[in-house]
Chains A and B, each alone.
Chain A
Amino acid sequence: MGKFRIVLTGAVAAGMISVTPVVAQADTATRPSAVEAPQPFSALADGFLYASAEPYGQGAYCRWLNNSEDWGVCTDAAGNSRNMKNEASQMWNNGVPGPYDDVKVFWDTSHAGAWRCLTNGSHWDNLPLGRETFNGGGSSARGYGQSLNNNVASHMWVDNC
């Protein structure tokens, strides 16, 4: 949620803005060559939000330690540049427990539109099934009620879901 989520949260909040990055750090971890379902990124586990193009952590992926306003430009652990905007079919919140360890994913770039919140340590493994939809930001928010699958464009770490 935006900077002023403190005073108006959930269904009635309208817009989102960017916030200060959580932790700035470099990471040189590399991804294993293969990850078997249903253990998404099991060998990575390093404090990032992960999103992969296929269910159960398969296919191309991106990871973020901080907030991202545009999933169109992101990288995997090997530094490969990816476009995960409207491409992700699995997401995993592997953040370090702390004040901001839950994460909201948004329909639009720049933390705009409808959102859905993913609690620390949890994952959505199979978004193409269509069970998970954008349910935050109010029914008038762009993307509200739509499937998360191939529809997430940005994310933000938050203090709780």
Chain B
Amino acid sequence: MLIGTRRTRVIAGSFAASTVLLVSAAWAELAGGDARMEHPVREITTAERELLQTAEQMLVQSCMQQQGFRYWPVDRHPIPEYREFPYVVDDVNWARTYGYGAELERRMKEMDASSPNKKYVAALTPDRRRQWLQTYHGSGSGWLKAKLPRGGVLSHSDAGCASKAQRLLYQDLQGWYQARESAIDRKGLKQDRVVADDRFAASTEQWARCMRRSGHAYTSPADIREALEKTSLRTEPKQQVTLAVAEAVCAEESGLARTSRKLDRHYAEVLAGQYRADTDLKLRLEREALPRAQEMVRQATDSGLSPERSPSSSP
């Protein structure tokens, strides 16, 4: 769920120090490879992805400031513990601590409501608000297009600060939009394939038997999700933890966790091959962007600038 998507968080405090660490980590991991290789063979690492995100957000902020607006960089992981389990909860410790994550979700919504960009935009006059969004998203000029694996064509302006930042970072803006949106759609397609696989169904039956032995009569993890949303279980955090722990224990005991992980990897490879052009393009653009991102962050770090301290215009 993380690749090609954006989890956003306000970058707070010690920006320079954190970027130095990110840069160091990214380049240590790159030491054994050629960053400009024509056919990259692996996904970039988490540290490298964070580096790209940091650089992109710096570019967006700079662009917005040049247009007379304030903008607060956002990050991809506002709450590190906020995880997604697309098939079944398979982490007993996590389940014991967070149940089904209702509290984490509540915190996410609080962060959203208090996000500086939203508060800032909401406080602008209607005209300035429209200008802020137009400056960020763009309007007019050319249109990016993304043809998606599961069908459909997405469009996006190429004229806003978001696009300008991505053009500077990835160079091939149209290619990046296509590759990124395709990856997002491919992830959903992969999950569809996993749950449609007979091996997933067989493991789910084993899981359900395990759950019944634990006193929980659910036929699938999806059944639990439905109950969480439609029954009194929704407002019973202690019961949620009990149930989540049982789900995770049975995921391991029944083999559903192992089957899910195996099928997830399998279909990721299958679809990467099926959509090779988009897959390779994304990997290549990301890898080629890493030196640029490193240099941007290095310059910002050397100059002592951070997003929090950079001069910004007033509303």
State the A residues within 8 Å of B (CB).
Answer: 2-17, 19-20, 22-23, 25, 27-29, 38-39, 42-47, 94, 96-101, 117-125, 131-133, 135-136, 138-139, 159-161
B78 at the interface (CB under 8 A from A): yes
B129 at the interface (CB under 8 A from A): yes
From residue B184, how far is it (CB to closest CB) to chain A in Å?
Answer: 5
Residue of A nearest to B127 (CB): A29
From residue B86, how far is it (CB to closest CB) to chain A in Å?
Answer: 5
B280 at the interface (CB under 8 A from A): no
From residue A118, how far is it (CB to closest CB) to chain B in Å?
Answer: 8
- Cβ-defined partner of B5 (8 Å) among A8, A131, A132, A161: A161
- Which residues of A are found within 8 Å of B134, using beta-carbon distances? 42, 45
State the B residues within 8 Å of A (CB).
Answer: 1, 5-9, 74, 78, 82-89, 100-102, 104-105, 108-109, 111-113, 115, 117-118, 121-122, 126, 129-131, 133-134, 136-140, 143, 146, 150-157, 160, 162, 181, 184-185, 187-189, 191-192, 194-196, 220-226, 228-230, 234, 244
**A122-B154, A159-B108 are known contacts; what are 18 more A-B pairs with Cβ within 8 Å?**
A2-B229, A6-B100, A6-B101, A7-B89, A8-B85, A10-B1, A12-B221, A15-B225, A29-B129, A47-B122, A97-B8, A118-B154, A121-B136, A122-B146, A123-B156, A132-B152, A138-B195, A160-B6
From residue A61, how far is it (CB to closest CB) to chain B in Å?
Answer: 15
From residue A93, how far is it (CB to closest CB) to chain B in Å?
Answer: 9
A11, A28, A161 pick with most chain B CB within 10 angstroms: A11
- Decide if B140 touches A39 in the complex (CB within 8 Å): yes
| Contact A28-B126, Cβ < 8 Å, known A12-B221, A23-B118 | yes
| Contact A14-B226, Cβ < 8 Å, known A100-B112, A119-B181 | yes
How many A-B pairs with Cβ below 8 Å? 215
- Which residues of B are found within 8 Å of A120, using beta-carbon distances? 6
A119 vs B146: C-alpha distance in the bound complex, in angstroms? 12
| Contact A121-B162, Cβ < 8 Å, known A2-B229, A3-B228, A45-B133 | yes
| Contact A8-B192, Cβ < 8 Å, known A98-B115, A98-B118 | no
- Cβ-defined partner of A29 (8 Å) among B126, B153, B222, B229: B126
Residue of A nearest to B163 (CB): A121
A120 vs B160: C-alpha distance in the bound complex, in angstroms? 13
- Decide if B7 touches A7 in the complex (CB within 8 Å): no
- Decide if B188 touches A136 in the complex (CB within 8 Å): yes
From residue B75, how far is it (CB to closest CB) to chain A in Å?
Answer: 10
- Decide if A138 touches B222 in the complex (CB within 8 Å): yes
- Which residues of A are found within 8 Å of B1, using beta-carbon distances? 9-10, 160
From residue B165, how far is it (CB to closest CB) to chain A in Å?
Answer: 11
- Decide if B113 touches A3 in the complex (CB within 8 Å): no
- Decide if A122 touches B129 in the complex (CB within 8 Å): no
- Decide if A12 touches B155 in the complex (CB within 8 Å): no
